[in-house]
Structure 1
Amino acid sequence: MKPYLAAAIQMTSVPDLNRNLAQAEDLVQMAVNRGAELVCLPENFSFLGDEDAKTTQAQTISDASYKFLVDTSKRYGITLLGGGFPVPVSESNGNGVSNASNGDRPTKVYNTAVLIGAEGQELARYQKMHLFDVDLPDGNTYRESETVLAGDQPPIVYRSTDLGGLGLSVCYDIRFPELYRHLALNGANVLLVPAAFTAYTGKFHWKVLLQARAIENTSYVIAPAQVGYHNALRQSHGHAMIVDPWGTVLADAGDKPGVAIAEINPMQIDQIRKQMPSLKHGTLKLAQV
């Protein structure tokens, strides 16, 4: 692993596939022009704001999103994370094939994050395990499980000689520390957290959760994000950021579309893990009372 620049992209995606992919292209190019070798797009980067439209168009969105990731990674010679897009699920066997062959709306989709290499090859894929079914104090209700099927496999760690151990996750996963400890114990030292955090929860929890996961696992956290209004009802917090293994925020994209860029330095990972070897100390087994 060598020092390199990583980018967490911040978007305002809307219910318009082509518009979103054009925005993503511009922001990826901005990151590449600033030297980024690992570029991360947020959850729902290709479509956000209208759940009925998303499920109706799921196969089109899925195909276009994947093609965009492959073409863009090859064009710029970068490793590119597509932080989450709908992949139709076969109701009968769950193999990712659409069950909408007759024009019917797919029953469910996987919220899927995909990591693509510089030659356009798929490196890793993760289907979001923890679904956002919540009733917030601001009166908003979210039921991700109405349209999304939870993945049943924990994310794998993609080990790269150049980029380190990259551990995938998606948004609401950040509230489940055991997932990140699993990643760290399986070789992750760079945790990827693409998100579309709500404006309400984000102002209270986003930054502190990212810092906690970085500190607990002595790992970098790269967290691309959605920001602003996606339709009349849905608003995201923003503040895409990169956090170092000590919990220091190295870059923050603020409250507008843009890019947060920072260096990922293996020497800092090694130094902090020697100073604070919590990963080697194991898990305390509490006695039953």
Structure 2
Amino acid sequence: MNEEDRRFAVAAVQMVSGFAVEANLERADALIARAAAGGARLVALPEYFCLMGRRDTDKIDAAERPGRGPIQEFLAAQARRHGIWLLGGTLPLQSPDAGRIYNACLVFGPDGEVCMRYDKIHLFGFRREAESYDESATIRPGENAPPVFESPFGRVGLGICYDLRFPEFFRAQGDVRLMVLPAAFTYTTGSVHWEVLLRARAIENQCYVLASAQGGKHESGRRTWGHSMLIDPWGEILECLPEGEGVVAGVLEARRLEQVRESLPALRHRVM
């Protein structure tokens, strides 16, 4: 790893996406440009960055075929234009089920080519009083192997939103130096659980965690928690954006990661 890669700039984009795909892509364009202008070499968009619809079924109508469609073309062009690693939040891809889509995260290299695809495995279900969600009604769970790809900083692991609650999912990814989590956490669950779970994943895996979130009041009336953040391997929050659209940026330090792992070699102490 050369000196530049030992200090690797990253950014999480926070959005408050709405009903119109084209408008959401325009906002993402501006925010990606801001992150890249700030020096970020890896940029992560939030879950559902391209569409937060009136109804859960709206994403079925917007679903694209793998490798074809305006959303995928947009992401590829952004990665090429800025010469960055781009984690495309999530977008709806067609599945074998007529009434369900894959909630997919595509990772693009600086050449604009897809280097990894992950279809969300854990599907959120929640019911309390008048608030309820059932992702399995419109999303088909993925069947991917643990989602990991190689970056100049080292191995990067990936999860999407509800995956955050399953520590064994991330442990199965092996020794990663960065975990990235696009999300659209609800305000209700996020206000209590989001930061705790993100910091736990960083601490127990002794790696950086970059979380890119939806954060605000959407056109549908839904409210998401936001608090996109970058966390270091000791569990310290380096940067956070509580609400509204914007960019959370920071630099991953290889030396910092090595110091944490040397001083508290928990990963070597594992017996299971």
The answer to whether the superposition gives a TM-score over 0.5 is: yes
Report the number of matched residues: 266
Letter in 2 for 1:117: G
Contact 2:47 2:183 in 1 (8 A): yes
1:57 aligns with 2:49: no
Structure-2 residue corresponding to 1:121: 113
User: How far does residue 57 in structure 1 lie from its aligned partner after superposition?
Assistant: 2.3
Mapped to 1, the partners of 2:105 and 2:180 lie a distance apart of: 10
Give the structure 1 partner of residue 82 of structure 2: 76
Query: What are the equivalent positions in structure 2 for 1:140-289 lying under 5 Å apart?
Result: 140-160=131-151, 162-183=152-173, 185=174, 187-284=175-272
The CA deviation string for residues 252-282 of structure 1, in whole angstroms up to 9 with x for no partner, is: 0121110000111111111111112221222
Aligned partner of residue 20 in structure 1, secondary structure: helix
Task: Tell me how far apart the structure 2 counterparts of residues 45 and 232 of structure 1 sit (CA, whole Å).
Answer: 15
Deviation at 1:115, TM superposition (A): 0.8
Conserved in 2, the CA contact under 8 Å of 1:155 and 1:169? no
Q: In structure 2, which of residues 20, 36, 48 is the aligned counterpart of residue 32 of structure 1?
A: 36
Residue of structure 2 aligned with 1:130, choices 108, 122, 129: 122
Q: Give 1:182's aligned amino acid.
A: A
For structure 1, which segment, 238-247 or 62-71, has the greater mean C-alpha deviation from structure 2 after superposition?
A: 62-71
User: RMSD over aligned Cα, in angstroms?
Assistant: 1.6
Could you tell me the TM-score, scaled by structure 1's length?
0.88
**Shift of residue 153, structure 1, vs aligned partner:** 2.3
Percent of residue pairs bearing the same amino acid type? 38
- Aligned AA for 2:170? Y
3-state SS in 1 of match to 2:257: helix
Q: After superposition, what is the alpha-carbon deviation per residue over 1:68-95, rounded to whole angstroms, capped at 9, x for unaligned?
A: 110000001111001211101023xxxx
Residue 7 of structure 2 is matched in structure 1 by 3
Counterpart-to-counterpart distance in 1, 2:144 and 2:76: 24
Question: For the residues of structure 2 that align with 1:110 and 1:116, how far apart are their CA atoms?
Answer: 18
Task: Give secondary structure in 2 for the equivalent of 1:208.
Answer: helix
Alpha-carbon contact 1:129-1:154 (below 8 Å) kept = no
Tell me the SS of whatever aligns to 1:87: strand
Rounded Cα–Cα distance in structure 1 between residues aligned with 2:22 and 2:147: 30
Q: Which runs of 5+ in 2 are unaligned?
A: none
Instruction: Decide whether the 8 Å contact of 1:154 with 1:179 is kept in 2.
Output: no
Residue by residue over 1:86-127, the C-alpha shift from the partner in whole angstroms, topping out at 9 and shown as x without a partner, is 101023xxxxxxxxxxxxxx3211110111000101111111
For residues 259 and 232 of structure 1, what CA distance do their matches in structure 2 show?
Answer: 23
CA radius of gyration, larger in? 1
Q: Deviations over 1:3-40 (max 9, x none)?
A: 12100110011111000000000000111111111100
Separation (CA, whole Å) in 2 of partners of 1:81 and 1:221: 14
CA-CA distance at 1:60 after TM superposition: 7.9
In structure 1, stretches of 5+ residues that fail to align are 92-105, 285-289
SS of the counterpart of 2:243? Answer: coil
Q: Which runs of 4+ in 1 moved over 4 A?
A: none
- 1:100 aligned residue: none
Aligned to 2:22: 18
